[in-house]
Amino acid sequence: MDIPRHASSRIRINKFFTQHGICSRREADRLIETGRVTINGRVACLGDQVGSEDVIARDGQVVPWGIIPVYIKYHKPVGVTTTSESHVYRNIIEEIGHRERIFPIGRLDKDSSGLILLTNDGDIVNDILRTEFGHEREYVVDVDRRFDDVFLDRLSAGVVILGSRTKPCRTERIGRQRFRIVLTEGRNRQIRRMCQALGYRVTGLHRVRIMHITITGLGAGVWKDLSDDERQELLRAVGRKPV
């Protein structure tokens, strides 16, 4: 069902666009600055506030108030690129082919596989990705040669990459050249860079969990809606009231 809104509840026009899964706030600001957005027939200005009684249009097309929130999980195979740019071969949006306009929450390298979440709820993205919330992401990693416990201890304590030390994390050996790692931050190619800094090359990287949501039972290339329990726990975890 559509999300009800009270007429007196007003939000900034750029937030309206993110809540409706149309684009980021920065992209919305560009639309507004170039005169492509109107409110009740007049050209919108940056900082304008709107309520459910207003008629908002982009390029002359009315954007209706109230959307059905979509939260899905996808088992990304190696070779799929985490981008919504349509010109990119095997982009994640094209691979999924969802009827709604959705976008990924965070990234997963083209050479990596595993769990990624997608949504049309623009506001929830930053809440999930903000490192101060400490939301966990769990990976299974293969490296190019055997390692000892010192390697895992050094990963757990933090490794200097991109000019600063990574946050402490949890690690566990699950094979001669395979280990499990749980991060609470998501720097660019973080695990690969951490291993490289310690003299190892990652040969396989597979994400199996984001927060409480796991990849269990989800085949490669398959997506599904979050269950009611998964969705409600996700909303609670970012301080939202479950709906």
pLDDT tens for each residue of 200-218: 999 999 999 999 999 999 9
Assess if residue 31 is contained within a domain: yes
Segments forming the whole domain that contains residue 192: 136-210
pLDDT at 4 over 70: no
Same domain, 173 and 150: yes
pLDDT at 134 over 90: no
Residue 109 annotated as catalytic: yes
Say what the pTM is. 0.74
Same domain, 228 and 186: no
Assess if residue 192 is contained within a domain: yes
Q: Which of 25, 40, 63 is the last residue of a domain?
A: 63
Q: How many domains does the chain have?
A: 3
pLDDT at 2 over 70: no
- In which element (H, E) is residue 29 found? helix 25-33
Q: Which one of 54, 109, 127, 142 is the catalytic residue? A: 109
